[in-house]
A and B are shown apart, each in its own frame.
Chain A
Amino acid sequence: MKKHLVSANDLTKDDAVLVLDTAKELAAISDGLVKKLPTLRGRTVVNLFFEDSTRTRISFEAASKRLSADVINFSAKGSSVSKGESLKDTAQTLQSMGADAVVIRHGSSGAPHLLATRNWINAVVINAGDGTHEHPTQALLDAYTIRKHLRNNTGDLSGLRVAIVGDILHSRVARSNAILLKTLGATPIMVAPPTLLPVGIKDWSGEYSYNLDEVLPEVDAVMMLRVQQERMNDAYFPTAREYARNFGLNIRRQKTMQKHALVLHPGPMNRGMEITAEVADSANSVVIEQVANGVSVRMAVLYLLLGGTNNETGDKN
C-alpha cells in the first residue's frame, strides 16, 4: 500500500482486495461483542473537516475509536478559508500536535493531494472527500457492499456491471467509484443527462449513457447519486420533475432490473428526486447497510495505513 489514500488510483487491485478482506474480518469481529480493539492505542487520528459532513466524520470517528486511536475533531469550517496559507498553517499545527493520520474533507479539489505531497506534515493523509475530485473510502465501502452481496464477500468484482446515475460532473463519489470498480475488474456505466457528464468522460470512465431505462436491465448494481436542487438553476436540467422522470429510480424501473441487482446510494437521499422511498426501502436496497460497512472499511484503511511500517523487520515467529 502507498503511504496515503488520496485517490482510488492509489490502490492496486491487490491493495483494494486487501482492504476489503481486512474490512470483512473487522466486520466479523465488530458483529460480535467486541466494540473496541487495542490496535491503534496511542496513535492520533485528526478529522480535519473544512466542509460539513456529519455522516463521513462520524463514520471515521467510530472507525478510529473502535481501533482505540485518539481522535481529534478539527473543524476548520467557519474560519472562512479563502486564502491558501491556512491549509499549510493548519497542517503545521497538526504536525506539532503529533497527528499520525489526518482524515481531510475539503471543498477544494486537490487539497488532500497537497497535504500529502508538500512536506508540511509527516502524517498519513486519508481523503474523506475533496471538492469534485474523489472520495476513495466511499468507493471502497460501495465495493465492499457489492462484493458482499454479489461475490460472496471474497475476491474482486470482475464481470460485474455497475450503473452510476446522476450528477457525475460534480460527484467525487462517481470519480472514485469509476476508478475503483475498474481496478476490481467491474465495468462502471455513467448515466446522466449530457449536461451532467464531464467533457471527455468516455476517456476515463469506461461506458456512459443518457438513457437509464436502457441500462437498468443489464446491470448488477445501480448507484444513485444525490442531485442538488441548485443544479437546476444553472440550467443543467429544466425541472426537478423532468429529471426525476428520466433519471429517478422508481418501482417501475426497478422491476426492469435483474433479480439480484442491488440499489446503492451514498446518502443523504433526496427521496422523490433521484430515488423513490419505495425503492430506497426495498429488499434490494443496501443503503442502510452501506453506513455500517463504511465503518468497517474505514477501520481497515486506518489499520492498513497506520498499523504497521513498511520496513521489513521483525521475525516471522
Chain B
Amino acid sequence: MSANSRNSARVVLESSDISRALTRIAHEILENNKGSKDLVLLGIPSRGVPLAKRIAQKISEFEKVVIPVGSLDITMYRDDLRLRPPRALAPTEIPEGGIDHKVVILVDDVLFSGRTIRAALDALNVIGRPSMVQVAVLIDRGHRELPIKADYVGKNIPTSLIETVQVTLADFDDASENVTLFGGEG
C-alpha cells in the first residue's frame, strides 16, 4: 500500500460505534434464536476471535449464562493458497461440548468475497454437524463472489475494489480501536 493511499484514510467506525454494533449483534442473535440455548460462537482468526469473545460476553451479561466461544482456523481450507505466501496457522479451539446439534455463529471482522466463510463451512464440516450455522460480521463491504450472506452485520460499508478495510481492536492490536477505509478516490 503506497503512502499516497494511506493519505486517503477515512475512519468509518470509532471505538464506541464498534461497541454499539457488537451490542446490537448480541441482541439480534438472542432475538433470532429465541434465547441463548445451544449457541456456540466461533471466531475466525485473527480478529474474528476477539470479536466473538466480546459478543459472547455481551450475551452472557444479558442472559446471565456462559456462552461457549472458540476459534476456527480456516487457513488449510482456503482456495487462494497459491495466490499468497504461506501463512502461519492459528489455533482451532472447539469449546467443550463440541458443535454437534448446536447453533454455530461464525464471527469475522470483514465480509468481502465470501470465500473465508466458504472455507469456514468446510472446516466446520469435518469437525461436526451443527443444527444451524449463522454468520456475524462487524463490516460487510460487499463484492461477494459466492452465494453467501451475513445474518448479523455491524455496519454495511460500500467500497470499491481498490479500497481496503482495516479493523483495529484495542485488546487485540494494542492500538486505538476503529475501522478505517484506505485508498480509492477518498
List A residues at the B interface (Cβ < 8 Å): 1, 18, 21-22, 25-26, 28-29, 32-34, 36-39, 67, 303-305, 307-317
Q: Chain A residues near B88 (CB, 8 Å)?
A: 18, 21-22
Q: With the chains together, A314 CA to B164 CA distance in Å?
A: 11
Cβ of B89 under 8 Å from chain A: yes
- Evaluate contact between A28 and B92: CB separation under 8 angstroms: yes
- Evaluate contact between B76 and A308: CB separation under 8 angstroms: no
Q: With the chains together, A311 CA to B78 CA distance in Å?
A: 17
Cβ of B158 under 8 Å from chain A: no
**B164 in complex: contacting residue of A36, A38, A317, CB < 8 Å:** A317
Q: A307-B82, A308-B87, A315-B112 are in contact. List 10 more A-B contacts (CB 8 A).
A: A25-B89, A25-B90, A32-B127, A36-B126, A39-B81, A307-B86, A308-B82, A308-B84, A308-B85, A317-B110
Cβ of B18 under 8 Å from chain A: no
Q: With the chains together, A286 CA to B85 CA distance in Å?
A: 34
- Evaluate contact between B126 and A39: CB separation under 8 angstroms: no
A33 to B: closest C-beta gap in Å: 7
A-B contact list, 16 entries, CB within 8 Å: A18-B88, A22-B89, A28-B91, A36-B126, A37-B76, A39-B76, A303-B86, A308-B84, A308-B85, A309-B82, A311-B85, A312-B85, A314-B83, A316-B166, A317-B164, A317-B165
Known contacts A37-B76, A316-B164, A317-B112, A29 near B87 by CB under 8 Å: no
Q: With the chains together, A32 CA to B80 CA distance in Å?
A: 25
Q: Chain B residues near A315 (CB, 8 Å)?
A: 112, 164
Q: Chain A residues near B112 (CB, 8 Å)?
A: 315, 317
- Evaluate contact between A29 and B77: CB separation under 8 angstroms: no
Q: Chain B residues near A32 (CB, 8 Å)?
A: 94, 127
Q: With the chains together, A34 CA to B124 CA distance in Å?
A: 10
Q: With the chains together, A140 CA to B90 CA distance in Å?
A: 20
Cross-chain pair count, CB within 8 angstroms = 71
Query: What is the 8 Å Cβ interface bit string for chain B, positions 160-186, against chain A (1 contact, 0 not)?
Result: 000011100000000000000000000
- Evaluate contact between B127 and A303: CB separation under 8 angstroms: no
Q: Chain B residues near A22 (CB, 8 Å)?
A: 88-89
Q: Which residue of chain B has the shortest Cβ distance to A17 in the bound complex?
A: B88
Total B residues in contact with A, Cβ cutoff 8 Å: 28
B30 to A: closest C-beta gap in Å: 28
- Evaluate contact between A29 and B92: CB separation under 8 angstroms: yes
Q: With the chains together, A40 CA to B141 CA distance in Å?
A: 29
Q: Chain A residues near B85 (CB, 8 Å)?
A: 308-312
Q: Chain A residues near B14 (CB, 8 Å)?
A: none
Q: Chain B residues near A26 (CB, 8 Å)?
A: 76, 89
Q: Chain B residues near A307 (CB, 8 Å)?
A: 81-82, 86
Q: With the chains together, A25 CA to B73 CA distance in Å?
A: 9
Q: Chain B residues near A308 (CB, 8 Å)?
A: 81-87
Cβ of B122 under 8 Å from chain A: yes
A152 to B: closest C-beta gap in Å: 14
Q: Which residue of chain A has the shortest Cβ distance to B143 in the bound complex?
A: A317
Q: Chain A residues near B89 (CB, 8 Å)?
A: 21-22, 25-26
Q: With the chains together, A173 CA to B4 CA distance in Å?
A: 52
Known contacts A32-B127, A38-B76, A25 near B86 by CB under 8 Å: no
Q: With the chains together, A26 CA to B89 CA distance in Å?
A: 8
**B86 in complex: contacting residue of A1, A29, A33, A36, CB < 8 Å:** A1
A64 to B: closest C-beta gap in Å: 14
B37 to A: closest C-beta gap in Å: 25
Q: With the chains together, A307 CA to B87 CA distance in Å?
A: 9
Q: Chain A residues near B78 (CB, 8 Å)?
A: 39
Q: With the chains together, A315 CA to B183 CA distance in Å?
A: 13
Q: With the chains together, A309 CA to B128 CA distance in Å?
A: 31
- Evaluate contact between B90 and A33: CB separation under 8 angstroms: no
- Evaluate contact between B84 and A34: CB separation under 8 angstroms: no
Q: With the chains together, A313 CA to B89 CA distance in Å?
A: 19
Q: Which residue of chain B has the shortest Cβ distance to A309 in the bound complex?
A: B82
Q: Which residue of chain A has the shortest Cβ distance to B141 in the bound complex?
A: A317
Q: Which residue of chain B has the shortest Cβ distance to A36 in the bound complex?
A: B126
B155 to A: closest C-beta gap in Å: 15
Q: With the chains together, A32 CA to B96 CA distance in Å?
A: 13
Q: Which residue of chain B has the shortest Cβ distance to A23 in the bound complex?
A: B89
Known contacts A307-B81, A309-B83, A312-B85, A34 near B126 by CB under 8 Å: yes
B159 to A: closest C-beta gap in Å: 9
Q: With the chains together, A299 CA to B84 CA distance in Å?
A: 18
Q: Chain B residues near A29 (CB, 8 Å)?
A: 76, 92
A311 to B: closest C-beta gap in Å: 8
B167 to A: closest C-beta gap in Å: 9
